[in-house]
Amino acid sequence: MLIDSKGVSVRLGPKLGRSGGEGNAYTVESHRGLVAKIYHRVPTPEKVAKLAFLTQRSTPEVQKCSAWPMLTISDDGQGVRGFLMPMVSGKEIHQLFGPRERVVEFPGKNWDFLVNTARNCAAAFNAVHVTGAVIGDVNEGNILVQTNGIVSLIDCDSYQVSNGSMSWTCDVGVSLWTPPELQGRDFKGLVRTPNHDLFGLALMIFKLLFLGRHPFAGIQSNGSDYLLEDAIRNRLYAYSRNAQTFGVRTPPFTFPVAALSEPYTSMFERAFRLEVSRPTAQEWVSALEALQQSLTHCSRDSCHKFPKSLTTCPWCEIAAAGGPLFFINVQVTYGAFAADNAHAVWAAISRIEIMPLRAKSPNDFKSVPSTPTALPANASGTKPVFVVGWVLAIIACLLLVSSAIWPAMIVGAFALGMIFEGRRTAEFIEEKDRRKSTLASSEAEIASVSSQLDAVLKNYQTTFVAKKTELKSAYERYSGIDRERALDLQKLESNKQQLQLNAFLRAQLISQASIPGIGQTRKRRLLSFGIGSALDIRPDLQIPGFGPTNLSHLINWRRLCETRFRFQPAQPVPAIEIQRLNLKFATLRNELWSRLQSGPASLTTLSAGAQGRFLQLQAQLENALRRRSQAEVDYEAC
């Protein structure tokens, strides 16, 4: 007979799910709301002591979000055989964050639901860490999610706990969820810390927010491949703001991490890139609750939710660029605008003509009479000694005529010395050089301003013509957008067989398939690179760690799926393709309409800006000409 640790009889009901490697789970008829885990083999004394300690650390908070051991179960003959835990339910969390699986397993759940689930994951980790336990083996198979967003942690009896004198370690782990500092380590007897768990928590949150993408599954700039484990070990966080410095870039058609702004980008940097303490579970709870409050919905597709700080819907942008539809809403419609008056807008644009601006040349300005500026008082034009020298020279000549040769020679020598000193004073020469420099500067300024005027006019004319041509093209395409959409609808109809096949293959999930050589580990690796269904498998698929043999298994499985497809000519084009088309043209029409509406203002602003700059430069040119005129007469006066 089985009894719990309080001496109450335990009556087991039917087995739950499939057999586990360590034990089986059963319903419990005697304990409402609880289930029992019964081990295949009698637990060791160390395991029994660990279970007893776990039951002592149980809290109401941790019981709400996990299958935490609450009471041990014993029989009279063999001692402890298992334990009682809260009944939990849900689907493994990868079925939510995997885009292909989510459509099947969580239909109608959008990004706000994933944000809420991420928040609940963080709260569950926080509840565990408050008990002093460390999860250790964090991975996508140990967390269940219900359709209401409730998260439950399972396999809690494997958690690491310590009573102060002894530590019961978690001896297993998944390499794709292991932090850089523990990559390649043997988990047997390895004491881990909450900071190690926080790597797995951040990775789980990232996968939820980025729809299954692994933060280290980037693309090498040199085209080479690397195992995810190596990328983790080397902290090659592909979505880092500095990723280009270590030669990694993000895959195409992924939600932009920059769209989350702060504090989220810095928190992911701390978790994946920097060798610092990672954000705590409570930090993530607060940050994700703030993110929930910041969400808005797309005006074109109500199932698109995103931070209201963004000016455009990132999901629409991904779809418009040829990427996948991550969220499916078959009710997306394409209709006419209520206030659509494109003809009147184009008429207003047509009436706006280019302004007839013409730059004046320097010769077009009237010269203004200028009065020379007087020389400074200390800058006399002639030195007194120079005048004295000439006077002495005249005296020397008179003496020479009077046959006073020696006196004439002496006086003449003095005269020559004084004359050779030069006529101009140092102050006068300095002033003349300054005036010459001022004249040269004014000439250079005139040339510069004239050049700027020519550039402004040329740029204005080119830009105005280009803008008006662009608006004309937008108007013509806008006017014919319904015809363009009708043609695309016809193409969809003519390609319906392939589209039905794509829809069929999209629903064939790798996670639920039995593929030779592709176990759970490889399936997780595929999901990390966005490969979730038969539709994602291509002959040119390149996944690090997947050689030709594994790739051939995947291709053969896809071919097998294709043989099960049956074309239904009477069926309409798949709704997802209609949604993709509607999103494409709704986005395009919004962009064209916005461009047309802003057309008159953009042309007017362009002209006003050119005119303002033109008048400013004209005034500068006129002032420069005045300065040159003054500089010329000042220089001539020297």
What is the reported pLDDT for 534?
A: 93
Whether the per-residue pLDDT at 339 is higher than 60: the answer is no
- pLDDT tops 70 at residue 365: no
pLDDT at 377: 65
Rounded mean pLDDT of the chain? Answer: 87
pTM above threshold 0.85: no
Answer yes or no: is pLDDT of 385 > 70: no
Taking CA atoms, 638 is separated from 12, 375, 427, 443, 626, in Å, by 118, 8, 12, 19, 19
In the predicted structure, residue 71 carries a pLDDT above the cut 90: yes
Mean pLDDT of the region 587-613? 89
Say if residues 134 and 192 touch (Cβ distance below 8 Å). Answer: yes
pLDDT at 334: 54
Answer whether residue 477 shows pLDDT above 90. yes
pLDDT for res 54? 95
Q: Is the peptide bond before 263 cis (omega within 30 degrees of 0)?
A: yes
Query: pLDDT tier at 494 (50, 70, 90 boundaries)?
Result: very high
Tens digits of residue pLDDT in 73-111: 998 767 899 999 999 999 999 989 888 888 878 888 999
pLDDT band with cut points at 50, 70 and 90 for residue 360: low
Nearest to 383 by CA among 411, 431, 422, 416: 422
SS3 letters for 323-386? CCCCCCCCCCCCCCCCCCCHHHHHHHHHCCCCCCCCCCCHHHCCCCCCCCCCCCCCCCCCCHHH
Place of tokens 């493994």: 92
Mean pLDDT of 353-371: 74
The residue type found at 416 is L
Q: Which amino acid is at 555?
A: I
3-state secondary structure 91-107: EECHHHHCHHHHHHHCC
Question: How high is the pLDDT of residue 232?
Answer: 93
The pLDDT tens digits of the residues spanning 232-243 come to 999 999 999 888
pLDDT given at position 472: 95
With a cut of 50, say whether residue 338 has pLDDT above it.
Answer: no
- Please give the distance of CA 478 from its chain centroid, rounded to a whole number: 31
Worst-scoring range by mean pLDDT, 223-227, 263-267, 586-590? 223-227
What pLDDT score does 48 carry? 93
| pLDDT tier at 340, thresholds 50, 70, 90 | low
- Mean pLDDT within 541-548: 80
pLDDT tens for each residue of 9-21:
989 999 887 777 7
Read off the pLDDT band of 386 (50, 70, 90): low
Distance from C-alpha of 458 to C-alpha of 446, rounded to nearest angstrom: 18
Task: Specify the pLDDT at position 626.
Answer: 85
Average pLDDT over residues 269-292: 95
State how far the Cα of 560 lies from the Cα of 336, in Å rounded to an integer. Answer: 44
Mean pLDDT of 234-256: 87
Position 332 pLDDT exceeds 50: no
Among 256-265, 468-477, 625-634, name the most confident range. Answer: 468-477
Average pLDDT over residues 314-331: 76
pLDDT at 466 over 90: yes
Confidence at 362, pLDDT banded by 50, 70, 90: low
- Average pLDDT value for residue range 133-141: 94
Give the pLDDT confidence score for residue 191 in this predicted structure: 94
Q: Are strands 91-92 and 71-75 parallel, antiparallel or unpaired?
A: unpaired
Residue 592 has pLDDT above 80, yes or no: yes
At 605, the amino acid letter reads T
| Residues contacting 476, CB < 8 A, separation 6+ | none
